[in-house]
Structure formats: structure tokens, C-alpha cells
Chain A
Amino acid sequence: MFGLDAVELARAQFAFTVIFHIIFPAFSIGLASYLAVLEALWLWTGRDVYLNVFNYWLKIFAIAFGMGVVSGIVMSYQFGTNWSVYSDKVGPVIGPLMAYEVLTAFFLEAGFLGVMLFGLKRVGPRLHFLATLMVAIGTLISAFWILSANSWMQTPTGYAVNAEGQFVSVDWLEVIFNPSFPYRLVHMVLAAYLTTSLVVGAVGAWHLLRNPHLPGPRVMFSMAMWMAALVAPMQILAGDQHGLNTLEHQPVKIMAMEGHFESHKDGAPLYLFGWPDQAKGELKWALGIPKFGSLILKHQIDAPMAGLDTVPRKDWPPVPITFWSFRIMVGLGMLMLALGLFSLWERWRGRLYINRGLHWFAITMGPAGFIAVIAGWITTETGRQPFTVYGLLRTADSVSPLAAPAVGTSLLAFIIVYFIIFAAGVLYILRLMAEPPHAGERGPSGEQPTRTAGITPAAGVAQGAGS
């Protein structure tokens, strides 16, 4: 089907469903933390604007979270349905990590989500804040486990292979805290925060364009731009460290990212652009800065760097995809930094809420976080091919014994279903975003106190304690 064999179809299906899925966690990890901060500010200051903005984003969170849950269930079954040999061999190591993700994170999120969405009036502000906090912590714990599992597949440590050919743990701490895990975790959590701040900033900017005096959009835009200005440089630093870690443990991935087909004995260039030709093994029309590659990666201008010519062809990752997705991610990261710095400058000049150029820039950058997250994951997942467990288990040896038509049919089903769901979900989210938060903004429950009801946090606490 589609001229692809069963392995390629299974890979296409995994890639498609995981790309679709990652959009939602990338957003909800950041948004859950943002909601917790907003509610804390509301409880602390008593200012209604924080509650209004909280309720506003809570409705959007409900939709995004729901889409994350249903697309996540697909992932947890797809290991078995499409990668059964992988599951048999790697299950003893990866399985427990994912089981812990379910037990410590998914239940925490799902268990407190109902109270977070619908329960403010029933439990009072303090318990409600606890619920929000639990959901936010749950999203971070989830990131911890799943990134640990993914990182182990990239940089496996602490394992042995038993008589059945299964990977088994020898030292769980070495499995969980494998060499690339800390870098990947920091990089992804920062990415989630950055992604969310860009979305919040874009929505704030959109409403400020029409009315720069609206309190809700001002709060959103200001908080989001602080976040972008602080996190974008941190992310670039984290990304650089992650790159050095990859060079140490997965040098072939770096060769693909950098387009280094050939080895350089005395200092490798940093290629900005070029056209990787996998078949010929060369980077056409290369535009590079001499010696800069060695400077960035080895912090030494003449350091020798091996290229793909030192690696057997059968172990090459798909270079063009890795090369280009990496450049998309880095380019967007630089634009995020520019937005952060621009906002700092305008803030200092007192024009944060009125500079239309800044607002348009922020609106354009609204989806940039998602694209960068997807591009980053494509880089790291394509760059570690042709292996599922790096250097140990080949992708072609991991797949289920399924006929191509079976996988082709399911892939087609997922594509159709996800496009319907995605189009509808995005439409409803954009529709919510089209309105600014109002005074007395209602949450998903529609039972939020209005201003006339005069329920302040303090009174709410008293009420909560009394009920």
C-alpha cells in the first residue's frame, strides 16, 4: 500500500500518531503550570483579572487535554500492535518506566482534572488550587518517565541481554538516569514552557491590537513575554549542552544533523545550508563557516571531526530529514530569542502594550513552539535510525509480523480520524481565543461566581471551609 512495505508503513503510522500526540502534551505541560501560577496569583492578590484569565485558559486546557489523552492511549497500545518484537525484547526495561508514568502521572492528572475543571464552587478555592497543582505536577512527572524511557532507547545503560534475547535491567538507576536523559528532560520541559508562552503571547497580542487597555490580554501578554525573554536563552543553552551530549553518545546523529558526510582532520566547518544527497554521500551547494563546527561542538577550532564516511552505509540515518528538521528547530529558536529581546526593549521603553509591530511578531510566532518541538523530535528520532534501541536493536527487527494491508488500512484510518479531530479541535480552540477574557469569565463549568455575586477568594475560602 502506497508503495511502502510493512516496516515503512508501521514507521509512518508511528511517526504520524506520535507527531499528532506530542502537540498536546507540549501545550498542556506548559499550560497546566501557567494555570497553577494564575490561580496562585489570584489567591494571593485577590485580583479578579487573574481568575478571569485562569477560567479563560481552563476551557482551552480542557479541549487540549482531552485530545492529548485520546491520542496518548493510541501510543500506549501501538507499541504492542505494531512493534511487538520490540515490546517483547525491550518490555522488561521500558515497560516498568511506562507503568510508573501511568501510576504516578496519568492518574494524578486525570484524577484531579475533574475537580480542576468543574469543582471550584464545590471544594472551595484552596482545595481547588491543590487540584490544579496536582494536574500541573502530574504533567511534569509524566514528562520525567516518558523522556527517561525515550532516552534509554537513545543511550541505553544499566542493562543485560538474557537467554531469550530480551533486554533486562541490571541497575535501575542507571536505566532511568541514562546519559542523555537529564539533557532531554530539560530541553523538552523548557520547550513546553516556551511553546505555551508563545501561544498565550499571541492570543494576548491579538486582543491588544484591538484594544490595548483590556486587563486580561495585558496580563497574558506581559507574562508570556517575560517567559519568552527568560526561557528562550535558557533553551538555547540547554540545546547546546544536549548537542554536546549527543556528540559524545550518538556521534552519527550529529554527523547527519550537521551534514558532515566527509571527515575533517583539522577543524570541521559549520554548514548553514546545503542540499544533502544521501545516495551520493555529499552535501551539495554547501554554505558553511570554516572551522566553526569544531568550535561549537568541541570548543576548539582545529579539533578533528569524523564524518559519515567512517560509518557503514547500513548504519546511516536519513540525512536530509535530520539535517533540515534540525535547521528549522534552531531557526525558530533564534526567532524566539529575538521576540524575547524585542519585548524586553519595548517593555523598558514603556511600549509593551502599544507597539503593533511587536504584537504582530508575537502573533506570527504563536505556532512556532509547536513547529520547533515537532522539528526537534524529528531530528532526534530520525537521527538515531536505523535503530530503535541505539546500536543494539534495528528498527527493521522490531516490527510486528503484520501484513502490509493491515498496517496500511490502520494508517489510513488514523490519518482520516486525526484530521477530522484536529480540524474540529483547533477550530473550537481558535473560537475561544477569538474572544478576549471578560470580567466574570466563566470556567468550563459555567458556574463561576460573577462580579455581582461578590465572591472573592477570601470569602470563597471561608465558604469552602464551611461546606
Chain B
Amino acid sequence: MTIAFDLTVLWAFIIALAVFIYVVMDGFDLGLGILFPLFPGKQDRDVITNTVAPVWDGNETWLVLGGGGLMAAFPLAYSILMPALYAPLIAMLVGLIFRGVAFEFRWRTRAQRNLWDIAFTGGSWVASLAQGIALGAILQGVHVEGRHYAGGWWDWLTPFSILTGVSLVVGYALLGATWLILKTEGDLRDKAYRISWVLMFAMLLAIAAVSLATPLLPLQYAQRWFTRPAIFLTALVPLAVIGVTVLLMKNLAQKRDGWPFFLALGLFLLSYTGLGISMYPYVVPQSVTIWQAAAPERSQLLMLPGVLVLVPLILGYTAWAYWVFRGKVGHDAGYH
């Protein structure tokens, strides 16, 4: 596998980065929604939503960048993948709508608060499951003819895509639980520790299942992973997963609040790297490469300075916003 470095590769990296930042930032938000049923108390729920109330808007914006960026840099891929993923994407959007408005609405009503809490949970579940299913549906390949998606509107639904969907729900839940360890205290934090243990094992199971299932797909993933010399490089990924897991277990056992969240993110980064190895250089597996899908150079060039200057700036002021609301969130420090 040789990587010819050019503008298109850079753009593929930028889009992949935007998607990963989205997963990092919105993953734990959605995870909190997934875990909501485990915290039935009103006070706990107030604290949980308050840990992300000031930042969830920004977190979700990365999803818009992922979609908008794909359209701008790889319009052909955007126009093939979006119709192929129609049902899961619409479900994701509807889920995100309920999840998003519930943040605001649950503070504005006493009578219907429970309903919006259900909307918050349901929206988070649906959006996470849909994102995972979409991922699986891309990995298993879509039917392309000419410049169009040529499959049906249920093609995305397979055992494999359900597996990736459930896996992502588990992963987001782990991010949510470890986020609570980082941001809360007392009984709430202790409960988050207990949940994190369970979810960590569930996530390992999910990673193993997806890793075993992917090479079985009727595509060339097995060849990508298991031939020499690539195998020496790709073998590092599972080894690193084991290493991070050991560290995560150690920090969970010693109750060091600051670490589990970032180690859980480490697991995500490794899984994502594995995904990158499987996909590259295709953007629609085995049918459209990044070069075939790339926008004309003039389009790529126009956006380049914007991305190179603005993304660091965005990361800067986003970090500032997180810094302003740093530290543990107690029962009394409600933002609402």
C-alpha cells in the first residue's frame, strides 16, 4: 500500500478528521442519552445534561462539517452514499432533532419533563444506532451504476450493519459513562464507574466482533489486513487495543477520574484507524476511490486555506469554551 500524497489525499484526511472529531465530541453527548434510563432521578438527570449543555451545539456542528465537507470535496461520493443510506440517515436526523430540542425543552416544562427525557433517550439511541448502521452499510459496499446509487432503499439492512449499529451504541455509552466519571462526583460518579466496567467489556466484545466480521464481507478487506507486508503494520492496531484496555482497567480500578474518558477515546481512535486501513483509498468501498470522487482542484484549493486556518482557530475557541466550564458539575451548579 503506497500513499501518493496529493491534495485529494489531504482532503480525505480532513474529512476523516472532521468525522472523527464529531465522534469524539458528540459521542459522549449521545452516550449520556443512551445511559439516561439508568439514572432515573431528576437531580442526576439535571447534572448529566448540565455537563454538556454549554457545548453540545458545537459538538454537533462537526457532523454538519462532515456532511458539508464531503459534498464540497467529494461530491460524487456524497451523491452516491446519501441515497444509499437514506433510511438510516433520516432516522439519525429525526433522532438528533428530538435529542437536541430536549436539551432546551426539558427545562421549560414541569408537566412534560418526563416526555422530553424520553425524547432525549430515544433520540440518542436512534441517532447512535443509525450512525453505526450507516457505517456498516458503507463498509459492506453499495450498488453503484455509472454515477448513481443503483440499489434499493432497504439494502443497508444486513446482520453486519446491525452489528456495527449496536457496537456504536455500546461505544458511545462507554464514552458517556467515562465522561460522567470526569465531570461528576459522589454517588453519580461511583455509579458511572460501575457502568464503565460493564461497558468496557461490551466494547471489547464489539470491537472483536466487528473486526472478525469485516474480513468475512465479500470484499477485499481480508487481503488488505492479512497479507505481507501490511500485516506487520496492521497487527499493531489490535496490540494497541490490548494496551489501551489494560491502562483503562488500571485507571478504573484505581478510580483516577481524569483518565478513563481519554482512554476510551483511545479505543475509538484505534478502531477508527482500523477502519481507515480497511477503506483506503476507497470512499465508496471497492467502487469509487477518493480520486474518482474528488471535486475539481479549484474547489479543493478554495477551501484549503479556510480549513488550514479556520479549523485550528475553531479548535482553539472550542477548547476555551470547554475550559470556561471545566471541572466537576455539582447538583447546585445548574446552568439552567
Known: A87-B71, A95-B71. A111 touches B318 (CB 8 A): yes
> Beta-carbon contacts of A383-426 to B below 8 Å, as 1s and 0s?
00000000000000000111101100010011001000100110
Contact call A417/B303, Cβ cutoff below 8 A: no
Q: Which of B1-9, B82-90, B176-184 contacts A (4 or more CB under 8 A)?
A: B82-90
Instruction: List CB contacts (< 8 Å) of A69-123 with chain B.
Output: 69-74, 76-77, 79-82, 84-85, 87-96, 98-104, 106-115, 117-119, 122-123
Tell me if B69 is interfacial: C-beta within 8 Å of chain A: yes
B300 to chain A, nearest CB (A): 9
Q: Which of B27-35, B102-110, B235-243, B267-275 contacts A (4 or more CB under 8 A)?
A: B102-110
* Residue of A88, A90, A95, A446 with highest tally of chain B CB at under 10 A: A95
Contacts of A446 in B (CB 8 A): 334-336
Contacts of A103 in B (CB 8 A): 65, 306-307, 310-311, 314
Nearest CB in chain A to that of B299: its residue: A92
> Which one, B63, B76, B105, B335, contacts A445 given CB within 8 A?
B335
Contact call A70/B96, Cβ cutoff below 8 A: yes
Contact call A81/B89, Cβ cutoff below 8 A: yes
> Beta-carbon contacts of B225-269 to A below 8 Å, as 1s and 0s?
000000000000000000000000000000000000000000000
> Which one, A82, A89, A403, contacts B152 given CB within 8 A?
A403
Give Cα distance in the complex from A66 to B299, angstroms: 31
Tell me if A41 is interfacial: C-beta within 8 Å of chain B: no
> Which one, B68, B96, B153, B303, contacts A402 given CB within 8 A?
B153
Contact call B306/A403, Cβ cutoff below 8 A: no
Contact call A114/B58, Cβ cutoff below 8 A: yes
Tell me if A338 is interfacial: C-beta within 8 Å of chain B: no
Give Cα distance in the complex from A416 to B109, angstroms: 21
Q: Which of B143-151, B191-199, B206-214 contacts A (4 or more CB under 8 A)?
A: B143-151
Contact call A92/B75, Cβ cutoff below 8 A: yes
Nearest CB in chain B to that of A80: its residue: B82
Instruction: List CB contacts (< 8 Å) of B279-336 with chain A.
Output: 295-296, 298-299, 302-303, 306-307, 310-311, 314, 317-318, 321, 324-325, 334-336
> Which one, A110, A166, A413, A445, contacts B61 given CB within 8 A?
A110
Contacts of B188 in A (CB 8 A): none
Contacts of A166 in B (CB 8 A): 75, 296
Contact call B94/A413, Cβ cutoff below 8 A: yes
Contacts of B311 in A (CB 8 A): 103
Contacts of B298 in A (CB 8 A): 92, 168-170, 172
Contacts of B317 in A (CB 8 A): 108, 111-112
Contact call A104/B310, Cβ cutoff below 8 A: yes
Tell me if A22 is interfacial: C-beta within 8 Å of chain B: no
Contacts of B94 in A (CB 8 A): 413-414, 417
Tell me if B53 is interfacial: C-beta within 8 Å of chain A: yes
Contact call A406/B295, Cβ cutoff below 8 A: no
Nearest CB in chain B to that of A59: its residue: B108
Tell me if B170 is interfacial: C-beta within 8 Å of chain A: no
Nearest CB in chain A to that of B311: its residue: A103
Give Cα distance in the complex from A218 to B90, angstroms: 45
Nearest CB in chain B to that of A176: its residue: B302
Contacts of B324 in A (CB 8 A): 114-115, 119, 122-123
Give Cα distance in the complex from A82 to B87, angstroms: 11
Give Cα distance in the complex from A169 to B103, angstroms: 41
Tell me if A432 is interfacial: C-beta within 8 Å of chain B: yes
Contacts of A106 in B (CB 8 A): 61, 64-65
Give Cα distance in the complex from A403 to B87, angstroms: 12
Contacts of B138 in A (CB 8 A): none
Contacts of B63 in A (CB 8 A): 73
> Beta-carbon contacts of B94-137 to A below 8 Å, as 1s and 0s?
10111011011101110010000000000000000000000000
> Which one, A84, A112, A425, contacts B83 given CB within 8 A?
A84
Contacts of A110 in B (CB 8 A): 57-58, 60-61
Tell me if B54 is interfacial: C-beta within 8 Å of chain A: yes
A233 to chain B, nearest CB (A): 36
Nearest CB in chain B to that of A413: its residue: B94
Known: A72-B64, A80-B78, A80-B82. A114 touches B303 (CB 8 A): no
Tell me if A349 is interfacial: C-beta within 8 Å of chain B: no
Tell me if A314 is interfacial: C-beta within 8 Å of chain B: no
Contacts of B149 in A (CB 8 A): 84, 400-401
Contact call A115/B71, Cβ cutoff below 8 A: no
Nearest CB in chain B to that of A114: its residue: B54
Contacts of A102 in B (CB 8 A): 61, 64-65, 68-69
Tell me if A431 is interfacial: C-beta within 8 Å of chain B: yes
Tell me if A304 is interfacial: C-beta within 8 Å of chain B: no
Contacts of B307 in A (CB 8 A): 103
Contacts of A119 in B (CB 8 A): 54, 324-325
Tell me if A230 is interfacial: C-beta within 8 Å of chain B: no
Contact call A76/B67, Cβ cutoff below 8 A: yes
B317 to chain A, nearest CB (A): 5
A202 to chain B, nearest CB (A): 20
A115 to chain B, nearest CB (A): 6
Tell me if B173 is interfacial: C-beta within 8 Å of chain A: no
Tell me if B93 is interfacial: C-beta within 8 Å of chain A: yes
Tell me if B202 is interfacial: C-beta within 8 Å of chain A: no
Contact call A99/B83, Cβ cutoff below 8 A: no
Contact call A88/B79, Cβ cutoff below 8 A: yes
Nearest CB in chain B to that of A97: its residue: B72
Contact call B71/A79, Cβ cutoff below 8 A: yes
Give Cα distance in the complex from A81 to B91, angstroms: 12
B73 to chain A, nearest CB (A): 7
In the A-B complex, the 4 residue pairs with the closest CB atoms: A91-B75, A80-B82, A95-B72, A114-B54
25 A-B pairs whose Cβ atoms sit less than 8 Å apart in the complex? A65-B57, A81-B89, A87-B71, A91-B75, A92-B299, A95-B71, A95-B73, A95-B75, A96-B295, A96-B302, A96-B303, A99-B303, A101-B68, A103-B311, A106-B64, A114-B55, A114-B58, A114-B325, A169-B298, A169-B299, A170-B298, A413-B94, A428-B108, A445-B334, A445-B335
